[in-house]
Structure 1
Amino acid sequence: MIRIIEPGLLSTIQDEGRHGFQQYGIITNGVMDPFALRIANYIVGNEKDEAGIEVTLTGPTIQFEESMLIAVCGADYSALIDNEPMPLWRPVLVQKGSTLHMKFSKKGCRAVIAVGGGLDIPAVMNSKSTYVRAGIGGFKGRALEKEDVLQIGPLSEQTKQIIHSLTKKGKTYMTSDWSISAAYLNDLYERETIRVMKGRQYDEFSESSRNEFWEETYKLSPQSDRMGFRLNGPVLERTVSEELLSEAVSFGTIQVPSDGEPIILLADRQTIGGYPKIGQVASIDLPVLAQKKPGESLRFEKISHTEAQESILKRERAIRELKWSIELKVRRG
């Protein structure tokens, strides 16, 4: 089991989300950076949708009360295991009694800690994700707190093989001689430009507003959270006056309320929205978006639905190949 010594700013249990219940008003939740969670799970031998610990801006201090296999993916928090630097994007076998320290994120905003065997907590509506506002899911329906203790689930055969290969190292903590190639990570967490498709009400905005949306730079407001990013920048003007019927929204929907400043809806978004939608962030760039910090800049780049589909299919093929590569390395020891 693992014990939370200090929780950090916001550390919650998240998986890929609570799907299939939006018609009942139950929001999806889930991890903000699905790419980081998925890769971290593959690294430690879990299924891709197993829950991990998502940390935000300042990381936790965690004590391991038994030896276990972990991986940290996403933002760089200068993680330490017992005062020794811990590598990201690779399996790490920590010894019983060791402590993981995660400081301030120096690159990116969020990281995911995956544990071999997963977190042994009950699923609520088919998901372990935490929805803090409603107090459901995760660990007691809330963010992690000091002295919380999390149990670990049964290990997969692949996790056992990875642990076996690392126990030969004989150090404070053990890690593999392989990691995720920079080819998968380049341009993922530092890029300013976010690719966006036109929204359903795109044509209802003035020509000058549409041009500014693509050409100008926005900054992330401090009044941003897992529900949505508020953007400070050019005020967008809608030329149509009638109100809209509320309709479904998704991760990355860009709404424009009456003040004209866009809001990008995120993992904890509501199920429906009545504001006009000028754009939709392409799925391929949701991890880029999730790593933005308050005060950072971003710009929008136009992409067609076809281009967005081709991009995500290309990444899916790359992730599938990555998964096979990990499995092959594990089999070879």
Structure 2
Amino acid sequence: MIEILTSAAFNTIQDLGRRGARRFGVSTSGAMDPIALAGGNALLGNDDNAAGIEIQTFPFRLRFQADAAFALTGADHISTLAGSPVGSWWCRRARAGDILAIETPRRGARVYATFGGGLDVPSVLGSRSTHLRAGFGGLEGRTLQAGDVIPVGRRLCEAGRRFDFGAAPPDVAIAGAGSAVDRVLRIRLMRAGEYDLFPEAVQARFWSTTWKISARSDRGGYRLAGDKLTLDAPVEMRSHGVVPGVVQVPPGGEPIIQMSDANTAGGYPKMAAVIQADLWRLGQATPGSFITFSEVSYRDAVAAMAPVNDYLARLRATADLYRAL
């Protein structure tokens, strides 16, 4: 068991998301940075999809009520266990009574806390992810609060197993996935279905503008401030399916990137779509930060996932060796 001692708004239990329920109008949810969640689980020997805590408001504190292994991944941050520093992208062994304290990240938006065996909350529609708007999944379908007690799965703290090592974060280890350059994050996109509805001049502005992530952004979508992408005349469309990463343009002309809690359908024209290999990087972008877009082909988008998958496979293989030492 773990007990939440301090938690501001919007910290939730997430796994890799709810698949196969979009036809019922249920969004995917899941971790905004799935590489961080899967990486933390790999450090512990969990299944990639084991549920952990997505922390996006700080400070965050919890107490271990029993011995447990845990890992911290995602944003570059400062944390302590029983007063002793714990690094980012690191796993440790906690003892009953130890307090884990996580402070505001120095870089990045979200920290992921994973636990040996995963968080043992009910699976709803095939996932333990919290769906805040529908009020199910996670812990009673809500954000975490002080006083919450959450069960942890099978213990992985047996004698002889090592839990004090870490891994290089993906923005260091994956070629081409570096941090923002000159404080601007570069994201790769493909054209989407209604791209050709926009005049060439508007298309050019879309690619050349440095966009600012608005403070009105959340897990549902990132609203972008910058140049206006307006059509010569309004376009009325029937609602159509959308997925995380799709860039829609409402009549006001300021794009919205659909994120983990995005609606399953919408009627705004689709300008482009963030490639899967860059969604985790976007999930670590903070409101107020800047991004630019570059266009890639479908072939390049598929190929871009190979380094990401290789990174997770190497991390898991190395972690398995370390735990056996």
> Normalising by the residue count of structure 1, what TM-score does the alignment of the two structures yield?
0.91
> 2:237 aligned to 235, 238, 244, which one?
244
Deviation readout 1:123-178 (Å, 9 max, x if unpaired): 111110001111100001100001000111114xxx456x6334xxxxxxx623x5
Does 2:306 align with 1:313?
yes
Instruction: Kindly state the Cα deviation for residue 119 of structure 1 after the two structures are TM-superposed.
Output: 0.7
Range with bigger deviation, 291-300 or 51-60: 51-60
Q: Which runs of 4+ in 1 moved over 3 A?
A: 184-191, 239-242
Structure 1 residues 59 and 252 mapped into 2: Cα distance closer, same or farther (>3 Å)? farther
Does 2:28 align with 1:28?
yes
CA distance in 2, matches of 1:196, 1:9: 31
Instruction: Kindly state the Cα deviation for residue 237 of structure 1 after the two structures are TM-superposed.
Output: 2.0
Range with bigger deviation, 299-308 or 178-187: 178-187
Matches within 5 A, 1:249-260: 249-260=242-253
CA distance in 2, matches of 1:59, 1:312: 33
Instruction: Kindly state the Cα deviation for residue 241 of structure 1 after the two structures are TM-superposed.
Output: 4.1
Give yes or no for contact 1:254–1:262 (8 Å, CA) kept in 2. yes
Does 2:279 align with 1:286?
yes
Name 1:170's counterpart in structure 2. Answer: none
Give yes or no for contact 1:90–1:180 (8 Å, CA) kept in 2. no
CA distance in 1, matches of 2:77, 2:168: 17
Aligned partner of residue 304 in structure 2, secondary structure: helix
Unmatched runs of 5 consecutive residues or more in structure 2:
none
Aligned partner of residue 36 in structure 1, secondary structure: helix
Matches within 5 A, 1:195-206: 195-206=188-199
Matches within 5 A, 1:159-238: 159-160=156-157, 164-166=160-162, 175-176=164-165, 178-180=166-168, 182-184=172-174, 187-190=177-180, 192-238=185-231
Name 2:109's counterpart in structure 1. Answer: 109
Name 1:13's counterpart in structure 2. Answer: 13
CA distance in 2, matches of 1:149, 1:318: 33
Aligned partner of residue 89 in structure 2, secondary structure: coil
Name 1:95's counterpart in structure 2. Answer: 95
CA distance in 2, matches of 1:243, 1:310: 35
Structure 1 residues 59 and 38 mapped into 2: Cα distance closer, same or farther (>3 Å)? farther
Structure 1 residues 131 and 189 mapped into 2: Cα distance closer, same or farther (>3 Å)? farther
Give yes or no for contact 1:9–1:59 (8 Å, CA) kept in 2. no
CA distance in 2, matches of 1:104, 1:186: 26
Name 2:74's counterpart in structure 1. Answer: 74
CA distance in 1, matches of 2:77, 2:127: 27
CA distance in 2, matches of 1:185, 1:89: 18
Range with bigger deviation, 235-244 or 250-259: 235-244
CA distance in 2, matches of 1:119, 1:318: 24
